[in-house]
Amino acid sequence: MAKRSKKAFYVTTPIYYVNDVPHIGHAYTTIIADALNRFKKLLGNEVFFLTGTDEHGQKVERAATEKGLKPIELADQVVGRFKDLWKALNISYDFFIRTTEPFHEKSVQKIFQKLKNKGDIYKGIYKGWYCVSDENFLAEDVPLEEGGYKICPDCGKRADVVSEECYFFKLSAYQKPLLDFYAQNPTFVRPPSRMNEVISFARQGLKDLSITRTSVEWGIPVPDDADHTIYVWFDALHNYLTGIGYDWNMELFEKFWPATVHLIGKDILRFHAIFWPAFLMAAELPLPQTVFGHGWWLKDQTKMSKSKGNVLDPHIILKTFGADPLRYFLLREVPIGLDGNFSHEGFVHRVNSDLANDLGNLVQRTLIMIQNFFSGKIEETDKEEKGDKEIRLEFERLKEKVLNFYENYALSRALEEIWTYIKSVNKYLAVNEPWKLSKDQSKRKRLGRILYQAEAALRAISYLLFPVIPGSSEKIWNFLGEEKPIEEELFSELKFDNLKLGQEIKKPDPLFPRIALKDFLKEEETQPSPARKEEKMEYINFDEFKRMDLRVGEVLEAEKVEGTEKLIKLEVDIGTEKRTMVAGVADVYSAEELVGKKLVVIVNLKPAIIRGIESQGMLLAAEVEGKATIPFFDKDVLTGAKVR
């Protein structure tokens, strides 16, 4: 393979599942990637920034069924939501990959075939437990709960039993090569605590990994064995290759591969730091330079996630504040490796204090004074005095520190330093009191010097902030009358006095509106929750409801339907007659335990043939994480009683 150019920088985000709309957690990874992407471009690197969506697998398949959609229909809808959000957040990715695109599917099949031909993939039988939420096979040592089921140790949800023929990847053969690789590349996983976590996991022994399913239809078919679909993680991880041209634009691929950094949340570290390098070793491809596992955004001390119902919809914040305050807050509030707790109070406080007060005020007062005292253009200044020089030198030191912090993913530290400098410039103005000098004609050049220093500092500050708050930085840059786009100045060429004398400023608009906490909370409360918003309630009238014949039915007999995992055939007494019904509840209830139970059935639903059996009605059940929970009565009720 041709050698990757030294200037190439390839950054990726995880590809997000399309089972639900994006939230702040997803936005976080993508914002970090965007900041790195913009920073590296300022350094003169050739950057490729990949993001996208992970569209196959059981989780998406189930979510689509619940919504009465085909998986691809759900994916199309949710992809639109992701793309809209990235636009609203000013994310400048280079390519958006969808795993349902034919070029990706074809390449994954080719790689699968290659590994199979090499003997790294072989056929066998998988018996074990599977967590649909994490799309993950549970380790054997996860204990059985009293009810005879297992709980996923990562997300706490109930796992499903899987027993099927499948293809395995020989992960065990890569244990030693992986451990050797980690030893030679101690910064492969960052931060270091996560590298240790990965090493100790790999040292415990790696078992071969099931990488196909026969019970999941929504996936890439295994070449020449279409009863099997490829495991969603095998499929998804390869997006990092196919999204950069592997197999369809090899020139592009060779320019950027291996990836400089895969940015991920710590929840998916093992997939990226163990499975992924093993797959790549098997495919004889170079390994990525770094996998960076960032922390989680929590709400009320719990990880923000759809299933916990505690996600924050970024659109509400965007509507009230715009992109930059959110970008700034997420990157400033906590170092990337740690968890952060999102609170509305914290958000409003940080944004009002740092952006509206410190930065916003500095921009406003500097530019207004230049406007008022010099009609928008400083033509002459006197020489730098000690305090003026200090502002320039402090900037030169700041520039080096920021470079170093940005390079090392310490974005919050970089912002902290930039704010120390903003405060110094504000203090410089307060000490020199240019508003007083303006009254004395003999101090004009001195006044010019002070406002020039403040203006030059602002130019430099807006440049350093560009990766994090690009929209506002560009605005400041333009207020200063700069003509060339901000991205065209190379970081190495950035100097305090790059600001030309005699440059005419533009009238500034307010940059960051100050929002009162109570107004923000009001806005948040008036929004339907993301889950409810999706539902779009379609009302029926009472007459329509009355047409449904809902009754108490008593189960007289029950037996599992042969050859299925979930179906039970029931004989149900509905008060007037006996009916046969087929219910998909065998993964939760045994046939025996249902006999004698009274439950709610709808008896005038048009009969349907299910697995050759005519189902003459349907029992009602709540759906909890894809599983049925049947409501039973807490008092004895008459069989056949109406339910209304």
- CB 434 to ligand MSP: min, Å: 44
Q: Does 29 bind ligand MSP (CB under 6 A)?
A: yes
Q: Which of 33, 79, 138, 264 binds ligand MSP (CB under 6 A)?
A: 264
Letters for 281-320 (x = contact with ligand MSP by CB under 6 A, - = none) are ---------------xx-----xxx---------------
Residue (52 or 448) nearer to ligand MSP, CB: 52
- CB 14 to ligand MSP: min, Å: 4
Sign of the Cα torsion 422, 425, 431, 437 reads negative
Sign of the Cα torsion 55, 56, 61, 63 reads negative
- CB 540 to ligand MSP: min, Å: 34
Instruction: Return phi, psi of residue 432, to 5°.
Output: -85, -10
- Quickly tell me which residue has 């009162």 as its tokens: 516
Instruction: Report the amino acid identity of residue 587.
Output: D
Closest-CA residue to 48 (of 197, 225, 240, 234): 240
Q: Does 450 bind ligand MSP (CB under 6 A)?
A: no
- CB 232 to ligand MSP: min, Å: 8
Pairwise CA distance, residues 146 & 437, whole Å: 81
- CB 199 to ligand MSP: min, Å: 20
Residue (78 or 572) nearer to ligand MSP, CB: 78
Q: Does 279 bind ligand MSP (CB under 6 A)?
A: no
**Residues near ligand MSP (CB under 6 A), total:** 21
Query: Footprint of ligand MSP on residues 241-260 (CB under 6 A)?
Result: none
- CB 570 to ligand MSP: min, Å: 37
Letters for 533-552 (x = contact with ligand MSP by CB under 6 A, - = none) are --------------------
Pairwise CA distance, residues 631 & 633, whole Å: 7
Q: Residue 551 class from Cβ within 10 Å (0-12 exposed, 13-18 middle, 19+ buried)?
A: buried
CA 215 to each of CA 68, 166, 226: distance values in angstroms, whole numbers, following the listed order: 20, 10, 12
Q: Does 268 bind ligand MSP (CB under 6 A)?
A: yes
Q: Which of 8, 9, 11, 16 binds ligand MSP (CB under 6 A)?
A: 16
Residue (263 or 594) nearer to ligand MSP, CB: 263
Residue (266 or 569) nearer to ligand MSP, CB: 266
Pairwise CA distance, residues 617 & 597, whole Å: 16
Q: Which of 64, 202, 230, 237 binds ligand MSP (CB under 6 A)?
A: 237
Closest-CA residue to 622 (of 585, 580, 570, 568): 585
DSSP 563-583: T-SSEEEEEEE-SSSEEEEEE
Pairwise CA distance, residues 185 & 179, whole Å: 10
- CB 293 to ligand MSP: min, Å: 8
Among 262-270, 462-470, 549-557, 620-628, which window interacts with ligand MSP (CB under 6 A)?
A: 262-270
Query: Footprint of ligand MSP on residues 574-593 (CB under 6 A)?
Result: none
Among 9-17, 61-69, 467-475, 487-495, which window interacts with ligand MSP (CB under 6 A)?
A: 9-17
Q: Which of 9, 10, 28, 406 binds ligand MSP (CB under 6 A)?
A: 28
Q: Does 25 bind ligand MSP (CB under 6 A)?
A: yes
Beta strands in 170-304 (DSSP E): 189-190, 209-210, 212-213, 221-222, 225-230, 261-265, 290-294, 297-299, 302-303
Q: Between β-strands 550-560 and 567-573, what pairing exists: parallel, antiparallel or unpaired?
A: antiparallel
Q: Does 265 bind ligand MSP (CB under 6 A)?
A: yes
Residue (57 or 434) nearer to ligand MSP, CB: 57
Residue (303 or 327) nearer to ligand MSP, CB: 303
Closest-CA residue to 512 (of 633, 347, 400): 347
Q: Does 101 bind ligand MSP (CB under 6 A)?
A: no
- CB 135 to ligand MSP: min, Å: 7
Q: Does 449 bind ligand MSP (CB under 6 A)?
A: no
- CB 23 to ligand MSP: min, Å: 7
Among 235-243, 329-337, 391-399, 554-562, which window interacts with ligand MSP (CB under 6 A)?
A: 235-243
Q: Which of 35, 236, 415, 555 binds ligand MSP (CB under 6 A)?
A: 236
Instruction: Return phi, psi of residue 532, to 5°.
Output: -70, -35
Count of other CB atoms within 10 angstroms of residue 231: 28
Q: Residue 483 class from Cβ within 10 Å (0-12 exposed, 13-18 middle, 19+ buried)?
A: exposed
Residue (212 or 239) nearer to ligand MSP, CB: 239
Q: Which of 76, 164, 197, 267 binds ligand MSP (CB under 6 A)?
A: 267
Task: Return the DSSP state at 358.
Answer: I
- CB 497 to ligand MSP: min, Å: 41
Pairwise CA distance, residues 12 & 347, whole Å: 27
Q: Which residues, other chains included, contact 430 with Cβ-Cβ below 8 Å and sequence gap of 6+? A: none
Q: Between β-strands 8-12 and 627-629, what pairing exists: parallel, antiparallel or unpaired?
A: unpaired
Q: Between β-strands 221-222 and 225-230, what pairing exists: parallel, antiparallel or unpaired?
A: antiparallel
Distance of CA 105 to the CA centre of its chain: 22
- CB 588 to ligand MSP: min, Å: 25
Residue (91 or 505) nearer to ligand MSP, CB: 91
Among 26-34, 320-328, 453-461, 619-627, which window interacts with ligand MSP (CB under 6 A)?
A: 26-34
| Chain positions contacting ligand MSP, by CB under 6 A | 14-17, 25-26, 28-29, 54, 236-237, 239, 264-265, 267-268, 296-297, 303-305
